[in-house]
Amino acid sequence: MAQRIALHPILGVPEKGRPVKFTFDGKTLEGYEGEPIAVALKANGVMVHRYTKKGHQPRGIFCAIGRCTDCVMVVDGEPNIRTCITPLKEGMKVETQYGVSPLPFEEQGCPSGKKGDGDETV
């Protein structure tokens, strides 16, 4: 599980908002208000943010500055939210994104991904 930095030799104690609860795929997790959703997930050991539509390949944080769209998830029902630059709020509902849906591929009626064709973004 990823570690939060408690004390940094140059930066000291990282500034954080108040602790808030949010859900990830139905599980209640804790993070700090205002930090990127992706950081709160990382702190809870979540690596996979989504699976690609065609190849069903896993994707997670890649650029962490909102450019690459690899880390998009379904947040409060809305897909394609860039979690690396979207601040965490109390009670947020964060879901793994399958293609562009929070429903696993089996429930979308497309159980098997085409392997080796995993470079599409959403």
Partner 1 sequence: MKRYDLIVVGAGPSGLSAAVEAAKRGMRVVVFDENEKPGGQLFKQIHKFFGSKEHKARIRGFRIGQQLLKEASDVGVTVILSATVIGMYQDKELVVRIGDEIHHVKGDSILIATGASENMVPFEGWTLPGVIGAGAAQTMINLHGILPGKRVLMLGTGNVGLVVSFQLLQCGCEMAALVDAAPKIGGYGVHASKLARTGVPFYLSHTIKKVEGTDHVTGVTIAQVDSKYQFIPGTEKHFDVDTVCVAVGLSPMSQLLKMAGCKMVDDPKKGGQVPVCDERGQTSIPGVFAAGDVAGIEEASSAMIEGRMAGVAAAEYLGFMEEAACSREEDELTKDLDCLRQGMFAPKNKGKKIDKTEEGIPLSNTLLTKGYLADDEVEAFPGFTHRVGVHPVIECTQNIPCNPCQDVCPKECISIGDNLTALPVVVENAACIDCGMCVASCSGQAIFLVDEDKGDGTAEVTIPYEFLPLPEKGTEGYALGRDGRKLCPATVSRVRTAKAFDSTNLLSMRVPREFAMKARFFKSGNAADAAGEVAG
The binding site for partner 1 (CB under 8 A) comprises: 2-5, 7-11, 14, 16, 35-36, 39, 42-43, 47-49, 57-68, 70, 84-85, 87, 118-119
Are 94 and 73 a contacting pair, CB within 8 Å?
yes
CA–CA separation, 36 vs 87, rounded Å?
Answer: 4
Residue closer to partner 1 by CB (options 19, 58) is 58
Residue closer to partner 1 by CB (options 61, 94) is 61
Residue closer to partner 1 by CB (options 70, 102) is 70
CA–CA separation, 45 vs 8, rounded Å?
Answer: 21
As measured in angstroms, the least distance from the Cβ of 16 to partner 1 is 7
CA–CA separation, 11 vs 106, rounded Å?
Answer: 46
Of 41, 110, 119, the C-alpha closest to 81 is 41
As measured in angstroms, the least distance from the Cβ of 83 to partner 1 is 12
Residue closer to partner 1 by CB (options 46, 102) is 46
